[in-house]
Structure 1
């Protein structure tokens, strides 16, 4: 008897509704968090697994396969001398950034101090911080926390993107901590207020917005 998949794809809601169609594609557990990781750039399977604590290997493989099937993700082999495959978002997958931004703004009110069981990655603050950085700086902003570094790119035309790790030639450098990031994300503090209070340091080589 052929082995049945442990995590079969959920059935469609079968509703002629744009929200239902969207949830058919991204409503499964872990899917949007995989998108969050891939918005930071192409990732190898092992890197995705490392930055998604709690997901099993077969669940992650199943979700990635589903996301390939729905046109959210593609897989490609890196050129020599690297012998590995990476997953990356398609244009349709990258179009989910505004969705994740809205979810982050909505969920920021529930982001209290980290619980003892909570994993923390520095780049998880990239999306919540976009609102605090827009209109203040443009170009590439490197953000350094105790947990690590990431960088965001803010274009003058409103385009935004982010990536894990330090930037090669940032236009600005923001140094702060997770508690301040949480306050910035929740709108409790503006970036100017955080700097004035000594909770953040912003070094710029570009004019303020």
Structure 2
């Protein structure tokens, strides 16, 4: 692992997560564990060799750990999970950039973006658990006490279930697609389900 050889905490952090793809690996794991193949699918453009190297570096640095029971999976350590709020703030900052790549957004990147753009005031009086079904992926999104928490895996008793694909969800929340007529299935409490799409702000466009 390369080092800046600088004792500053910022430099030491960049020693661990400053290499290309490293912080995006953290992004892909912040909602829960993943297998190598799932990480590769979410990080389009990262070669298997580079991804393997970054995983080894992050594991050696104590940011992630590998579970070897069954199919090997990677997850953040307790210390690695402390990067979650920093990722959200970095996402808010980066969303104001004039650079707007046209590439796809991974499912995890989209859900982290939802956390970053959640508007507390719009959730006033709302306490609900959502199941998000995005293709084969399942997530639990809990809104309570003016906060949003998303984790990988279906909740036991959701108040509402939203079934769609990541591109459609992105267009509904951050684009100009209207909910009525969109390829979305809402189950459970429809009022609560519809409220979900109004909980987020659009990143500034200038």
- Map of 1:162 onto structure 2: 151
Aligned partners of 1:149, 1:84: CA distance in 2, in Å?
19
Unaligned runs of 5+ in 1: 1-8, 185-193
Q: CA RMSD in A?
A: 3.7
Query: Which of the residues 167, 182, 194 maps onto 2:174?
Result: 182
User: SS in structure 2 opposite 1:106?
Assistant: helix
Q: 1:52 aligns with which of 43, 52, 69?
A: 43
How far is 1:132 from its partner?
Answer: 2.1
Instruction: State the partner residue of 1:122.
Output: 107
**Is 2:72 aligned against 1:85?**
yes
CA contact (8 A) 1:75 1:85 kept: yes
| SS of corresponding position for 2:96 | helix
Query: Residue 140 of structure 1 corresponds to which residue in structure 2?
Result: 129
Deviations 1:101-150 (A, max 9, x none): 011111223488872xx123333221221242545144533346689764
> Cα–Cα, structure 1 residues 92 and 147, in superposed 2: closer, same or farther, change >3 Å?
same
State the partner residue of 1:63.
54
Task: Indicate if the aligned counterparts of 1:142 and 1:149 stay in contact, CA closer than 8 A.
Answer: yes
Structure 2-normalised TM-score?
Answer: 0.69
The answer on whether the counterparts of 1:39 and 1:161 sit within 8 Å (CA) in structure 2 is no
Q: TM-score, normalization: structure 1? A: 0.68
Contact 1:120–1:147 at 8 Å: present in 2 too? no
Structure 1 residue 97 corresponds to structure 2 residue 88: no
Between the two proteins, the alignment pairs up a number of residues equal to 182
Deviation at 1:170, TM superposition (A): 2.2
